[in-house]
Structure 1
């Protein structure tokens, strides 16, 4: 019987990590989770999804983060989103094969032995090029500023909710420079790694045929 496997993907902004995750999921015939986790968390927690989207992958700040109304569970919206998403991620990892992008998922699933934890990075020049193309940003300076802003938010979030350095090797299976192989080449590399690590893995789509 095919085992249940999970690939988590951390990524620098502009490295193509989300696209790579989507393509890996498609190539393996498994589920893909990113921002759709917020909608699942909204249903599970009862918290307004608009509030959760605003808090997505942002560290809690006692001075600026919204607190839940009196009478509900304690903590900021950011905290509740992290706790709820973590519970959902663990539940998913125990029930199905999937790719999960961000949300400290490598840390959340550190005790699961059915996971492969990947970090995607790329040289700044390549990330600037990608961001300019995808978001129609005209200048290198503007793209560089957006990269710095987004990476800072992700770094603060990751380091606030874990005991690890964002972008570090702790808990990672492999860090990959996506500019070396390109997006599709990186996808092929990860898919090949999955089949070498778990030779008994069979795509859920194939088992349904």
Structure 2
């Protein structure tokens, strides 16, 4: 949806890999997280011989992808773990209603768990926050009409409470597309600024310099 961050990663010297996951219409959670973890394991095996350091892998995602990135950072899986996480406009507590996050009727949230709302807690990043999690950069529009800004605050405060390095970057007046106009296409200077911020975060947290080729 937002073709800005991966090019910025490449310019910063990272190997940037885009992955596909099953949608809720194809499979219910945790299938999507399984897909993310399978991709991370594949990168660690590195069958293509890419210049990847398996001990320095960062993950980012926006909206539903941000939710999965946040979950991946909290999975606790040694072989599928990541060392830094960026989530942009992602939900963190699926049990809380607001914006387009509805659980009192069919919605993208309830579709994720196949309509079984008792599983929403297990699919929420805040339910998996633990000490020893990797550092997080949480970016969210303060006027997000789809995933309320409080979702970013919930995750940020939960991470900080267990001693995890978490930075919350609010985009003042930004909607789900990070822009003042919620109907505008995903474009504009704010996205390039966010992409550069993500690149700086990964370079700092993964301890790499431009051109080293980490993922």
Report the TM-score, using the length of structure 1 for normalisation.
0.43
Report the TM-score, using the length of structure 2 for normalisation.
0.42
Q: Which has the larger radius of gyration?
A: 1
- Ranked by relative contact order (alpha carbons within 8 Å, sequence separation 6 or more), the top structure is 1
